[in-house]
Chains A and B, each alone.
Chain A
Amino acid sequence: MTILDTPTTGQSVDSPLITIRGLVKYFGDAPLYDGFDLDIARGRIISVFGPNGCGKSTLINMMAGLIPIDGGEILFGGKTRRETRIGYVFQNYREALFPWMRTRDNIAYPLKLMGWSKARVEARVEELVASFGIGFDLNRYPYELSGGQQQTASIMRALAPGPEVVLLDEPFSALDFEMTLFIREKLQQVFMETGTTMMLVSHDLEEAVYLADEVLLLTKRPTQVAEVVRFDAARPRDLDTLSAPAFIEAKRHSLEVFQREVRK
């Protein structure tokens, strides 16, 4: 807990970015989280994987401040949620973007909320367009775009303010395979360029391991950390990664832990 006492400036890169201590969350009378602790290091991609109903999405929703917690604390480099810039990507992109705004304005929305000048907003959006290599017309409304394009726009919106953490709730689940591959690569590329800490809920173990530096495996409820599996393969990872022995071993081990937890 020393992290609480250190000033936010001048922290070492090794100090955990996210610290969760004694987290408690009840749904009715049933405990979902009852004294849950977790440290997440800066500049990593963390995949969250676990049994059905263990509260993967609930965890990142609590981190995002979208669901109230019943006890404990979640801090970001010692700061509260309110003081932290968080990007969030929903599974259901259709209901995450604002259909009354053009796609460009959707991406610019968080910047306008922060009171940026028009020129600065413009410049930032152009920067994102360049780094994402966007080939579609941002002056269209979201409903005129394909699902993959909409989710790409959602991710650009989440990244626009340069967040300290990006939380992604099953961002690929509603997409077809082609789009999933495309956005996965974009995500990895953005991560390599910016080093933004990302936490990604996944229901696909292969995808979870492929993207992650650490796979956070959760138990059944009341949920605890079953194990954190490290996967250190160099980036950019590609198709060859999927057949590399280290990948296969990390995936096999994760599956083993997962099955052990499900059978408990």
Chain B
Amino acid sequence: MSADMTDPAPLAAPPDAGSIRALPSRAQARRRAARERAVGLLLPVVGAVALFVIWALVAQMKLITPILLPGPIPVLATLVQGLAGGKLMMDFAVTVLRTLEAFAISAVIGMPLGVLLGSNEKAYRSVEFLIDFFRSTPASAMIPLFLLIFGVSDFNKVAIAAFGAVLIVIFNSAYGVMNARKQRIMAARVMGASGWRVFRDVLIWESLQPSFVGLRTAVSMALVVVVVAEMFIGSTNGLGHAILDAQQVLNVKLMYAAILATGILGYLLNILFLYAERRIVHWSGR
């Protein structure tokens, strides 16, 4: 009933000359919109700049001993130097290569397997427990086992990362198929599509969007496992090795630089996959 009380009031009061003059002109509205766009572009930078400033202040005032926390400028200098042709660049490249290898293996095995399992729900239910169990087992827990199987090889790191990633891909692709819009399947069937054509023309496409979520998660997982494996499996290169090596000899600047490089790598991979998803699954969310 409160609406009855409040509604008539604004209607009853005629707009006076003052309020009309207060209305913004079109040019003003345009300027305001431009300002809002600029603010929108700047906002994401605010947090990063704030962290940088706090880091610089803490280091400058020696609130934390410089042995543990060097200033941001020397760390960034080390990072840029390292990535511009130094040893860090090699480590970066090696980690990228291993991550992409592991990812490629998991995608090539996981997507077809997931789509196949998803299109036969009984088949998926029969292996669901295994997938969920090993998906819940930290891949790092399997490192000693993989050491036994593959030895201290380069491929070991790739294999274990691929193992961690493949289950995520299978899971997401399978659910993508199982959750395909029933009506699209019906539409294809009513037009006379065979089971194979429904699979090829509808199910695979319907599963693409969830599959991409799986691939994006999988590449992050692959990076995590590769970096861990590089730390512990008799490595001589890679970002994981660089971080641990720098820590062992107390080269803190290099350690921070290597950590930042790993973060940059993870972030770039994520952006890359988001971009690829938007290009390939162009209908997603529309």
| Interface residues in chain A, defined as those with a beta carbon under 8 Å from any beta carbon in chain B | 64-66, 85-86, 88, 90, 92, 95-100, 109-110, 113-114, 141, 143, 157, 161
Contact = CB atoms under 8 A, between A and B. Distances in A.
Given A98-B184, A98-B202, A141 B189 contact: no
A95 B191 contact: no
Contact of A65 (B190, B201, B208): B190
Contacts of B192: 85, 110, 113-114
Secondary structure dominating the interface of A: loop
Interface in B187-226: 187-193, 197, 201-202, 205, 208
B205 A98 contact: yes
Given A66-B190, A110-B191, A90 B183 contact: yes
Nearest to A161: B191
B66 to A, nearest CB: 56
A99 B183 CA distance: 13
Contacts of A99: 283, 286
B181 interface: yes
B186 A66 contact: yes
Question: Which secondary structure dominates chain B's binding surface?
Answer: helix
Given A66-B190, A114-B192, A95 B283 contact: no
A171 to B, nearest CB: 13
Nearest to B189: A66
B122 interface: no
B286 A113 contact: no
A240 B52 CA distance: 75
B205 A96 contact: no
Given A96-B187, A99-B286, 19 more contacts: A64-B190, A65-B189, A66-B186, A95-B181, A95-B183, A96-B184, A98-B187, A98-B201, A99-B283, A100-B205, A100-B208, A109-B188, A109-B191, A110-B191, A113-B192, A113-B197, A114-B192, A141-B282, A143-B286
Interface of B: 181, 183-184, 186-193, 197, 201-202, 205, 208, 282-283, 286
Contacts of B181: 95
A98 B185 CA distance: 10
A66 B185 CA distance: 10
Contacts of B189: 65-66
Contacts of A161: 191
Nearest to B280: A100
Contacts of A141: 282-283
B9 to A, nearest CB: 34
Nearest to B283: A99
A88 B190 contact: yes
A165 to B, nearest CB: 11
